[in-house]
Structure 1
């Protein structure tokens, strides 16, 4: 009988070895996520059919969620290299700061990109510093926001606008870039309930070849408004792509009301509007880890939409799949 029980139940030394192995694997995972993948910056590329028929191709660099700390030299050097991509337009969807002294680091990191046409809105971590929080709160879509000390967002805004970038917070901006006429509008951060879509409500200029919506957090209530008004493309950040993801499953949370299937990359929102969510470049200093979700910027190649889609609001599934690379 004793022999049978021994075979059925592992002894204490076996349990100890299993516990040590589990702890070791967990330590390796944490080390990889915090030391390696968090700094394994990547460039994502995607082609999106959103322009009016006959338009020239437009290359847009979408950057988001830098969460910059002054001493993050590796991140700063990688960002400076992005200017070599020679984008026609840069769109920054917020959360640039994580420290009171981060503005110079962000500006220097943007480098030559600030000499290119640019559009931006801000996110919560442009206005307020991050604070430690219980990570389990991210699994509750409705939870009390924990805000830190005010950050020098006005200084960052001045630095961007002095170099020619346009703040699209609650305003329309019309510009021509690389031969493409753009009507762009944005909202303040929906994550903090600062969005006031009514200030930009209504259809954009019908003569624009690209009708572009910009927001930090991709909250469905805001995306619906952009789609209802006829925007071709909406750019957002905030989600960090889930930040900590599982193989073959993906993101555990989105940190907003957006569903997990759209947590990063291109997708559709309604019949006509496309959405692109950046997985972002950084992390909060209080959660400095990424797993199965590398930090990234995205080079979007915008091309004319199929003619049947521009007339009916629907494109063929085959065209959609081919162009989005799915």
Structure 2
């Protein structure tokens, strides 16, 4: 005769199993997955007929701390891809001494054309907070902050690497013989974006082979404006892809902005009225030092290969 198992014993067994699964998930997310750096690749037919393909490397949200040497080595290794253009969508720093790590990570890209915009963690350091509050909605700005040496970061990016600052600005860039008109805004999550100022910088520029809109935070108002003004490609970061996702789900649990959750990571299409453009939102390479976890959301960079239209 089979032994009957009491209800309390069944409950205890179930509770133990749930606890073990939760502990295993925490070990994976904190100790393993956040170090599994991944390169995503996409081909986009955006160039004029007859143009040679070009490679655009999109990096974002490094949130660099000085001790993160594995991350530094991986970012540096991406220079071996020989991109024609690097687009950096901000939040490079994750610590008051993070610039040293960014120098190590990005030094191999010196001489490769690049553009960048700022995220808030290029100007102010992250502060301790309850990681669970991330799931309650877009984060709120802190009244007291620790300033970062943004001037030193910009001197490195602009003077040493030769990259162009697109914060509320625009510029012409040559990438592998393709003339790109690039424009962007500063961190819209902090309301630092100024679209009027960006349009003033954009107006006198000649037409290019390609128009690219760049933003740290992919708020709808920014993406709508870029698309309505003829952007051929939209590039953004900020969301961390949700950072913690249900494995296999196409949607993030949160995005930390107002973008639809199913567009908070990866390549999709953004439509405004009759206009549309490919949108790449990077899940980012790093995380806040106060929330050192990724689950179901690998840290990433993206290589976009642009080819001629049919």
TM (normalized to structure 1)? Answer: 0.87
SS of 2:110's equivalent? helix
SS of 1:78's equivalent? helix
The residue number in structure 1 matching 2:253 is: 252
Counterpart among 293, 304, 309 of residue 305 in structure 1: 309
The residue number in structure 2 matching 1:151 is: 148
Pick closer, same or farther for the CA change 1:165–1:50 going to 2, 3 Å: same
The residue number in structure 2 matching 1:288 is: 292
Q: Which range moved further: 24-33 or 266-275? A: 266-275
The residue number in structure 1 matching 2:277 is: 273
The residue number in structure 2 matching 1:314 is: none
The residue number in structure 1 matching 2:40 is: 44
Q: Which range moved further: 151-160 or 194-203? A: 194-203
Pick closer, same or farther for the CA change 1:134–1:86 going to 2, 3 Å: same
Kindly provide the CA deviation profile for residues 294-314 of structure 1, in whole angstroms up to 9, marking residues without a partner as x. Answer: 0011111012334xxxxxxxx
Distance in 2 (alpha carbons) for counterparts of 1:222 and 1:60: 21
Q: Which runs of 5+ in 1 are unaligned?
A: 1-5, 307-326
The residue number in structure 1 matching 2:211 is: 211
Pick closer, same or farther for the CA change 1:27–1:148 going to 2, 3 Å: farther
The number of aligned residues is: 300
SS of 1:44's equivalent? strand
The residue number in structure 1 matching 2:28 is: 32
SS of 2:58's equivalent? strand
Kindly provide the CA deviation profile for residues 67-101 of structure 1, in whole angstroms up to 9, marking residues without a partner as x. Answer: 00100111111111111111111110000101111
Distance in 2 (alpha carbons) for counterparts of 1:35 and 1:91: 29
Kindly provide the CA deviation profile for residues 23-67 of structure 1, in whole angstroms up to 9, marking residues without a partner as x. Answer: 111011000001110000011101122223333211000000000
Distance in 1 (alpha carbons) for counterparts of 2:151 and 2:199: 25
SS of 2:140's equivalent? coil
The residue number in structure 2 matching 1:319 is: none
The residue number in structure 2 matching 1:138 is: 134
User: Following TM superposition, by how much is the alpha carbon of 1:136 offset from its aligned partner in structure 2, in angstroms?
Assistant: 4.4
TM (normalized to structure 2)? Answer: 0.91
Answer yes or no: is 1:162 the counterpart of 2:163.
no
Kindly provide the CA deviation profile for residues 270-320 of structure 1, in whole angstroms up to 9, marking residues without a partner as x. Answer: 2332211111100111111111110011111012334xxxxxxxxxxxxxx
Kindly provide the CA deviation profile for residues 130-186 of structure 1, in whole angstroms up to 9, marking residues without a partner as x. Answer: 122234443444553236311111110111111211111122111212110011111
User: Following TM superposition, by how much is the alpha carbon of 1:104 offset from its aligned partner in structure 2, in angstroms?
Assistant: 1.4
Distance in 1 (alpha carbons) for counterparts of 2:133 and 2:149: 27
CA RMSD of aligned residues (A): 1.9
Q: Which range moved further: 46-55 or 101-110? A: 46-55
Distance in 1 (alpha carbons) for counterparts of 2:97 and 2:247: 37
